[in-house]
Every structure is written in structure tokens, then in C-alpha cells.
């Protein structure tokens, strides 16, 4: 079975949506709960299968705290690690030696990408976009708009409110 066939059959078996490009690239959509989806590239290179997944754009603020969180988190990740691109956007990247690409290993790596991107997403937003979240909360509240997707950040708003008594 060719590497492309191993990847395709594994993605089919897991039930993931993907597009297979002729040049050995797979664009995979990982469904999440906090981050509704994580887009992930699987790129067949000469000696490795490269995994690249966008997590979130460059933080607006608290860069040092965001990067500290990512570096600490890297120590607990399997097969991938956090990095930033030249714009400061946050990605998960990894490489699997071609000889080690099996259905089980691919499932494990994609599971790690999903767990990290989805699991860390709200934390990264809370640290790196707190001002924007507060501003959006206030704007929606003033207009009676839904706060449903902002509820995970309610503690940011409550910390800012003076205690009544």
C-alpha cells in the first residue's frame, strides 16, 4: 500500500473530511468544540510526512505570556510542537519519518493536533485577546446581541466588574 493510500484509508476510517491533492498534500479538517475546526495539512516530503495546523492568529497583546504558555505546553505534546510564522500566527507542526507512517501513528498525531488546538484555543484567546473580548462583550451587551460564543470568557468580564455590597 502506498503512503497516499495509507493516509487516505486512515482519514476515511477516522471519518475526517479531507481533500487529497495530486502532489501528495492532504488538507484535513479536524472538528472541535472550543475551536470549531482546525485546518491541518499533511505534506508528503522526501523523507517525512510534515504536519502543519493553524491554531490562531498573532495575539493582540500579552505576547510574552502567550509564548510562555506555548513553550510550556510543547513539553507535553506528542509528535508536534507550537511555533509561530513570520507574521506571529500560531501553528502546530511536526514531522513523521516516512518509515513510521502507519494508521495508528497518523491517528495519534492528528489526535494530538486536535487536542492541543482545541484544548488550548480559549486559553490563547483569553491571554492574547482579552481587550478585544471585553470590547466585543460590551458591544453585544449594549445592543442586546447574543453572548453565547463569548460565555467561556465570562470570567474576564466578571474580574473587571467592581464588587457590589
Low-confidence ranges of the chain (pLDDT < 50): 165
Q: Cα 91 vs. chain centroid, distance in angstroms? A: 7
Q: What pLDDT, in 10s, does the model give residues 13-46?
A: 999 999 999 888 999 999 999 999 999 999 999 8
Q: Where are the domains of the chain?
A: 3-128, 131-160
pTM: 0.89
Of 116, 130, 154, 157, which Cα lies nearest the Cα of 65? 130
Q: Which CATH fold would you assign to the domain 3-128?
A: Yope Regulator; Chain: A, (3.30.1460)
pLDDT of residue 22: 82
Amino acid at each position: 500500500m502506498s503512503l497516499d493510500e495509507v493516509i487516505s484509508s486512515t482519514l476515511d476510517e477516522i471519518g475526517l473530511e479531507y481533500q487529497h491533492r495530486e502532489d501528495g498534500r492532504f488538507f484535513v479538517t479536524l472538528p472541535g468544540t472550543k475551536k470549531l475546526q482546525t485546518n491541518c495539512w499533511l505534506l508528503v516530503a522526501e523523507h517525512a510526512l510534515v504536519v502543519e495546523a493553524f491554531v490562531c492568529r498573532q495575539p493582540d497583546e500579552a505576547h510574552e505570556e502567550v509564548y510562555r504558555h506555548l513553550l510550556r505546553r510543547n513539553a507535553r505534546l506528542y509528535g508536534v510542537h507550537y511555533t509561530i510564522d513570520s507574521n506571529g500566527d500560531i501553528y502546530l507542526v511536526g514531522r513523521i519519518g516516512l518509515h513510521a507512517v502507519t494508521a495508528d501513528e497518523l491517528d495519534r498525531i492528528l489526535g494530538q493536533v486536535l487536542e492541543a488546538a482545541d484544548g488550548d484555543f480559549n486559553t490563547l484567546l483569553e491571554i492574547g485577546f482579552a481587550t478585544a473580548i471585553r470590547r466585543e462583550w460590551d458591544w453585544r451587551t449594549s445592543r442586546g446581541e447574543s453572548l453565547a460564543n463569548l460565555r467561556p470568557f465570562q470570567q474576564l468580564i466578571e474580574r473587571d466588574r467592581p464588587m457590589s455590597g
